[in-house]
Amino acid sequence: MSRSAHPAGPRHADVLPEGHYTAPPADLNALDPKVWAHTVTRDQDGVVSVGGIEVTRLAEEFGTPAYFVDEADFRARARAWRTAFGHDADVFYAGKAFLSRAIVRWLHDEGLNLDVCSGGELATALSAGMPADRIAFHGNNKSEVEIRTAIEVGVGRIVLDSFQEIVRVAHIAQSLGKRQRVQIRVTVGVEAHTHEFIATAHEDQKFGIALADGQAAEAVRRALALDGLELVGIHSHIGSQIFDMAGFEVAARRVVSLLAAIRDEHGVELPEIDLGGGLGIAYTSDDDPREPHEIAKALSEIVTRECEAAKLGTPRISVEPGRAIVGPTAFTLYEVGTIKPLDGLRTYVSVDGGMSDNIRTALYDAEYSVALVSRTSDAEPMLVRVVGKHCESGDIVVKDAFLPADLAAGDLIAVPATGAYCRSMASNYNHALRPPVVAVNDGEARVIVRRETEEDLLRLDVG
């Protein structure tokens, strides 16, 4: 079928099917710096490059689908967080967003700490040389082995998430002849404006111990009474992909009032509060994320003010951004396969990856952008849905977007802002081979996580 037969031309908004889009962008070849990594540009010849290397060359060398991470951008964002929070605060990168040994080394170089939530993340961090005392260990159901390992290697803190865990961590620490630094994770009762599955501070969910009915105060009582624990602070994480600082302000206020209550009851001022992660990034041009220095200023002002009001010394603040550091620094490169125009609806563009390399669209109804990156085009915009190659109709990568109507099999398209929670939540569904992560910097590209092979899959299959 000739491309011109596609029902793909520009359409007036009121005849477009329901979706998240507004209107086609004025220039389909433009790359909005809000959603693309810092060094991404379109060269004279129309090909997009990152870190000085054209995507066509990257695709040839590393294949598709693949994630490309802009190392300079990652380091710059990590540094911006570190600088914004200064020496009186700590930044713990949330490894769940994406973790590999190279990432650990970059974080270490840039002076960040690390939040891990499993034995696997801890092992990765330690194997890349992150000092254990700069690691925080999280999780609502840490195994005994994970707790024992964390204490043995000397992690800087364990964040206690339940009454059972208070006792479990204390006993293991004591049996090892140690006193473990811990924080207690509380749920502050804030409804963060985000998807239900990534909001974590309302009470009806699995994380933390509620402030509301005195549970958190009881947890503090028990933790203070146990020899194996050194209670150093209170932790709160209200959710993810949040733009509105109001939720953090309420959380900070409630955590500080707990610190005041602890001081009144026990005569101790806990020295730390951790306000978690969750800061939103731009997935599309409609998103307006805050800069780290604005976030740092807002959080430290509110904590200082509340502490002054409660006549408390200001505790050391820490934060745990994951997405806000790694998210914008990477994109996924795909090759276009089949193109299926559906009359009066939209055009389905299939790529060589899908929900196995980005589950976020299916899981959270997440929105993404997409661009043709192997060339420019003057063709009219066509409304597309970028889908994967999995046996599932929910296998959608980008729900609603515009690409040029002359898009053809073999073109390369890229989805920006896939650095967080894409490779880390990738799966082998349909025995897909998980894509590599390639770091690009200053004209050089190197694989930091290699592509899976069929041998990798078969190695696990021992039946």
Query: Phi then psi for 106, rounded to 5 degrees?
Result: -60, -40
- CA 70 to CA 52: how far, in whole Å? 10
Q: How many CA atoms lie within 13 A of 440 on its CB side?
A: 27
Among 321, 381, 404, 419, binds ligand LLP (CB under 6 A): 321
Which of these segments, 271-279, 282-290, 342-350, 391-399, binds ligand LLP (CB under 6 A)? 271-279
Annotate each residue in 148-187 with x if it binds ligand LLP (CB under 6 A) or - if it does not, as one string: ----------------------------------------
User: What does R_g of the chain's alpha carbons equal in angstroms?
Assistant: 24
Smallest Cα–Cα separation from 190: which of 177, 205, 180? 205
- CA 263 to CA 435: how far, in whole Å? 51
Would residue 391 show up in a list of annotated catalytic residues for this protein?
yes
Task: Name the residue nearer to ligand LLP (CB basis): 97 or 250.
Answer: 97
Least Cβ distance, residue 99 to ligand LLP (angstroms): 12
By CB under 6 A, residue 256 contacts ligand LLP: no
Q: Computed from CA positions of residues 193, 197, 200, 201, in that sequence, does the dihedral angle turn out positive or negative? A: positive
By CB under 6 A, residue 341 contacts ligand LLP: no
Annotate each residue in 360-379 with x if it binds ligand LLP (CB under 6 A) or - if it does not, as one string: x---x---------------
Which of these segments, 318-326, 388-396, 399-407, 427-435, binds ligand LLP (CB under 6 A)? 318-326
Least Cβ distance, residue 422 to ligand LLP (angstroms): 8
Task: Name the residue nearer to ligand LLP (CB basis): 21 or 248.
Answer: 248
Which of these segments, 221-229, 276-284, 342-350, 374-382, binds ligand LLP (CB under 6 A)? 276-284
Least Cβ distance, residue 298 to ligand LLP (angstroms): 16
By CB under 6 A, residue 95 contacts ligand LLP: no
By CB under 6 A, residue 324 contacts ligand LLP: yes
By CB under 6 A, residue 241 contacts ligand LLP: yes
Task: Name the residue nearer to ligand LLP (CB basis): 330 or 412.
Answer: 330
Angle (deg, nearest 10), helices 144-153 and 119-127:
30
Least Cβ distance, residue 20 to ligand LLP (angstroms): 16
Which of these segments, 103-111, 214-222, 236-244, 428-436, binds ligand LLP (CB under 6 A)? 236-244
Question: Which pair of structure tokens corresponds to residue 92?
Answer: 């713990």
Sequence-distant contacts of 108-116: CB under 8 A, at least 24 apart: 108/134, 109/75, 110/75, 110/78, 110/79, 110/82, 111/79, 111/82, 112/78, 112/81, 112/82, 113/156, 113/318, 115/277, 115/320, 115/322
What's the first-to-final CA gap in the chain, in angstroms?
46
Smallest Cα–Cα separation from 186: which of 169, 163, 167? 163
Please give the C-alpha separations between residue 125 and each of 27, 118, 141, 404, in angstroms, as whole numbers.
Answer: 43, 11, 20, 43
Which residues, numbered 288-307, are part of the site for ligand LLP (CB under 6 A)?
none
Which residues contact ligand LLP by CB under 6 A? Answer: 94, 96-97, 115, 138, 198, 237, 240-241, 276-279, 320-324, 360, 364, 420-421
Instruction: Name the residues annotated as catalytic.
Output: 391
